[in-house]
Structure 1
């Protein structure tokens, strides 16, 4: 028991002495802490951004079975309008579900509020296929009836000054200039970053309308095999080979599409969890590698600077070390004392970085135009 207390007292004394030395050499301590604090903070911010980008599409329901239909010979992000639906109808043993949408922009109005909005005209499978939850409304029926609309909570506040906008009406203009009231049937919860509602920078959609309203927007060719401009997704049944699906897709194209499309269009399913990182020839993945290298380099430079400052300080304290040896100090004790001081400085810098992180994330997010995850959410 006495040995245990003696050990605790010794450690306590090490920390007391370390703190006195830090205060005594405050200029060196501040410079060292600031350098390490900056390095840790920037590394945390970069690391959080990289982590967030790696999680795109991975929080979707059944993410490992969700695929995006990517085209070769046309726009790579769109394909034939009826294709994914026909896949479900002809190959139910392969395809569990499908989703298609057409992106439009139109004027939405409520009272004296008029804004041009991004609208996603899509299948009623959107909510339950990807697990997008509703704050208000019933996911089973929200996208069933014509002239119904599901909106984000930000849109609800923007037009109705409240989140619970279910049952409210909002006017949406057609391309001919006429206006029709749409009934709000659902308000979305916060949805994770994904390539369904936010396929690219031009398609960050906030209004979701069922496809049985496509005639109002002049989209009569939505179900046409000559329409090659519809982003499409499929969910595979468990344990289904992608190669089997690949063959089935191209067989349907050969059976239904026009000759010119048969000759020029090839469609391949791409795992949705990989799509975001590999699109544009892997541009996002290369950028994340670069940012990761920069973050590690910044942290390495901060560590090197910290070590150099520690060595420089030790050299300046040779006289103090000599006095300690004369007074009976052992080498091991002196080394431990210096290590305790360094540990305290690292702890202070780390705590400051953790405190600064939530304060700097909004600034960093505005700079890069992306949300940054909370520190303890990854």
Structure 2
């Protein structure tokens, strides 16, 4: 019986190749798109799940509101970890991590710049699952100046990972670290991925009892059965107990007074498995993903698959007149309705199976392109095939039955007498459901068009917004601290090169993560109500000129003035928080240590126009530029048509002063673009998916238009005989479809506006949704629909009426 169903289904599909091709192509595109999105979503949701204790691991975040700043930090105070273990019985283990930047690692006569380094407590391997292939995890990071490296690093420096333990690595030409362990490479699905873990006991600051330092990423492993919410509820009391006395010592106020003034220093919890998608705090160890994108792409996958299924339902029911006599004859010959239903479902499942095979092939061929767009490294391997094949089989059955469910019941319900008398309603107007499904398809397509245009518009706004500084033609030479005492000489020599307009030496740049915040007070009374929590950057006299900052008051630094070592330039936001008519020549006092035992006073000599030094998703916060010496990087303002020659000259200067050090550089424009790489990737993927959705919807519309023209062929023939113009016939055949597209525009436009308005709220600086975005989307939808329909309409209008009327 089943064999007969399959054979009949195959013959029917073969007989209607055009119908079959449209259905197979639409479903194949929909399934291929879904498959690629499934790869993306599964990957994003799998972060940190490789840790065997992931369900019990949490990171302590710190929410701080003070001195005009309100931020959530991924870091916490140095002594917090020990206090958690000592005071709260729910805590089994804690581990602290801190990123102090990279080092040059010596390999023969070469110094290799390694950026992926973390200092970590010895308990690292008790909390996280980092399998060690050589060394003792219980002792590896106990002693100062010890380091654990991963397999890749071990091969780079020692060839054989198993022989690395006991060897020595030289950092920055002098500091020796003993390799005490080698771990397997951390999976890519980790919210931090470093190759070097240095012993925390090496750092002096890790031992300080400074409850307001807030520099360490602290993770806790809760005991089995511990309630995270009850644990979280105990954190405020712990902070009051330990940080309260220091607050009293520094600001001479209690925690109650501190909070009553509207301030906040509050510990918070985030589950390890939530960090990658749900955290975007300051001091993250690496850029995270965004749960919104997972939701968006999942919705897009479902929408595209629905469009493909709707195509199948529409085309199947539209062909009802073609199958009506078949159903009538089968029923007259005694075929039960359940057999007819099974027959039509067999055809649906067969179409879906063929489409699924094509979808897997298509996804395989386009996977490299998708990897490039999404910045992933997906592949078809044994692991992926283990869930892919069963998943696709289930999808074939489910989608095949869902897509064929209504057509099967619709066609099998025909009454033989009505069929054989020709009383069935034919044509496009015969089904309100079919009209609803066309509206549904194009509503989704219009929704995606509007979303894509809004994303593109926002990205263009970001690219062209006046950030308050000039990032174009600024070249950054990184790691100039490698030059030591020769750094200043390097700057002066490079500054004289043709094509170099200006140069400034500091690591504190708007497009870098090099940051330092300090509490500043207008007097020594340390009144918390007058405090300003600002970024405190050390810069030289060329900083403002090189980056094109605009002075709105006062003057720039002057190296000829010895008093400028205690001078400061603040931004407009900091000036507003000071709440004075004119901040020039006013004083700001800044603590020089974590315990605020020593202070330094700075005289304000200038105010610069606000500039965006963080993502445009956040508001501008206070910045204070202090005059001093920082060798973090050298930024060059260049103006030359031959940038390659200039780079060669700069590299030559570098090699003459540091022959064994790597020459690393970037351009500020590229560094800025990297900040919004996730949004740019989303924009690109949105364009591709929207195009696919439109193509699939148009395939269905193309098939419907073909059948509508076929079913009205006699009417068209009569109209032509009576003198109707081609344009009249095209308009007649198109108007019913265009009406549905117009309804879809009315449905989709407000929904898309609401959704994209919500997405734009994640940007502090954003472009409002322009009216032309909605107008262009509507025009594109109508144009695409008309272009699709008109092909069949014009073909039908040009047909010789003799062919359609010869049997009359």
Pick the TM interval, shorter chain: 0.7 to 0.9
Sort the Cα spacing of 1:157 and 1:367 in 2 relative to 1 into closer, same or farther, 3 A.
farther
Helix, strand or coil for the counterpart of 1:374? helix
2:305 is the alignment partner of 1:307? no
- CA distance in 1: counterparts of 2:363 and 2:331, whole angstroms: 43
Map 1:128-139; keep pairs closer than 5 Å. 128-139=126-137
- Provide the secondary structure at the position in 2 that maps to 1:114: strand
Structure 1 distance, partners of 2:174, 2:111, is 17
- Structure 2 equivalent of residue 5 of structure 1: none
Secondary structure of 1:222's counterpart equals helix
Could you tell me whether the CA contact under 8 Å between 2:132 and 2:181 is conserved in 1?
no
Q: Distance in 2 between matches of 1:107 and 1:38?
A: 49
Mapping of residues 188-337 of structure 1, within 5 Å: 188-191=184-187, 193-195=189-191, 198=192, 204-214=193-203, 220-224=204-208, 225=210, 226-237=212-223, 238-240=225-227, 241-242=230-231, 243-256=233-246, 259-260=250-251, 263=258, 265-280=265-280, 284-317=290-323, 328=333, 330=335, 332=337, 333-337=339-343
- Matches of 2:160 and 2:311, distance apart in 1: 52
**1:23 matched residue in structure 2:** 14
Q: Match for residue 84 of structure 2?
A: 87
CA distance in 2, matches of 1:248, 1:33: 63
Deviation of residue 80 (structure 1)?
Answer: 0.9
Distance 1:136 1:71 in 2: 36
Instruction: Give the distance between the partners of 2:219 and 2:369, measured in 1 at CA.
Output: 35
* Kept after mapping to 2: 8 A contact 1:170/1:184: no
CA distance in 1, matches of 2:31, 2:148: 42
| Distance (Å, rounded) in 2 between the aligned partners of 1:143 and 1:167 | 12
In the TM superposition, 1:69-84 aligns within 5 A as 69-73=60-64, 76-84=73-81
Per the alignment, residue 384 of structure 2 pairs with 374
Contact 1:61 1:129 in 2 (8 A): no
Structure-1 separation of matches of 2:369 and 2:199: 37
Instruction: Say which is worse superposed, 331-340 or 232-241, in terms of deviation.
Output: 331-340
Deviation readout 1:308-336 (Å, 9 max, x if unpaired): 2333455445565567678x373634443
Contact 1:75/1:229 (<8 A) preserved: no
1:119 pairs with one of 117, 120, 128 = 117
Go from structure 1 to structure 2 and tell me whether the alpha carbon gap of 1:135 and 1:301 turns closer, same or farther (over 3 Å shift).
farther
Aligned twin of 1:201: none
Separation (CA, whole Å) in 2 of partners of 1:119 and 1:290: 34
1:45–1:266 Cα change, 3 Å: same
Match of 1:7 in 2: none
Q: CA RMSD in A?
A: 3.4
Distance in 1 (alpha carbons) for counterparts of 2:74 and 2:8: 64
2 CA distance for matches of 1:376 and 1:256? 57
Assess, with a 3 A threshold, how the Cα gap between structure 1 residues 93 and 351 changes in structure 2: closer, same or farther.
Answer: same
- TM-score of the aligned structures, taking structure 1 as reference length: 0.79
Q: Which residue of 2 aligns with 1:57?
A: 48
Cα deviations by residue, 1:279-335 (Å, 9 ceiling, x for unpaired): 239982333222221111111111111222333455445565567678x37363444
Contact 2:140 2:147 in 1 (8 A): yes
SS across alignment from 1:345: helix
Residue correspondences, number: 353
1:154 is aligned to 152
C-alpha displacement at 1:193, in angstroms?
A: 2.7
State the secondary structure of the residue aligned to 1:61. Answer: coil
Counterpart secondary structure, 1:265: strand
**Shift in Å at residue 256 of structure 1?**
4.7
Partners of 2:6 and 2:346 within 8 A in 1: yes
Structure 1, unpaired ranges of 5+: 1-9, 199-203, 215-219
* 2:59 aligned residue: 68
Query: Which residue does the alignment assign to 1:4?
Result: none
The alpha carbon displacement at 1:173 in A equals 2.6
Whether the aligned pair in 1 keeps the contact of 2:276 and 2:289 (CA below 8 Å) is no
Distance 1:109 1:42, change over 3 A: farther
SS in 2 for 1:80: coil
Aligned mates of 1:158, 1:149 — CA distance in 2: 15
Shift of 1:359: 5.6
Deviation at 1:354, TM superposition (A): 4.3
Partners of 1:142 and 1:192 lie apart in 2 by: 23
Segments of 5+ residues of structure 2 without an aligned counterpart are 65-70, 259-263, 282-287, 389-808
Q: Deviations over 1:105-158 (max 9, x none)?
A: 222343457233210111011112122222444322332344333233333444
Residue in 2 that maps onto 1:173: 171
What residue is the counterpart of 2:800 in the other structure?
none
- Contact 2:151–2:161 at 8 Å: present in 1 too? yes
The answer on whether the counterparts of 1:118 and 1:206 sit within 8 Å (CA) in structure 2 is: yes
- Structure 1 residue 28: Cα displacement: 3.0
Cα-to-partner distance string for 1:180-235 (whole Å, 9 max, x where unaligned): 3542621225437334xx1xxxxx42211111233xxxxx3233215321111122
CA contact (8 A) 2:147 2:177 kept: no
Are 1:338 and 2:335 counterparts? no
SS at 2:220 equivalent: strand
Output the TM-score relative to the length of structure 2.
0.39
Distance 2:161 2:369 in 1: 26
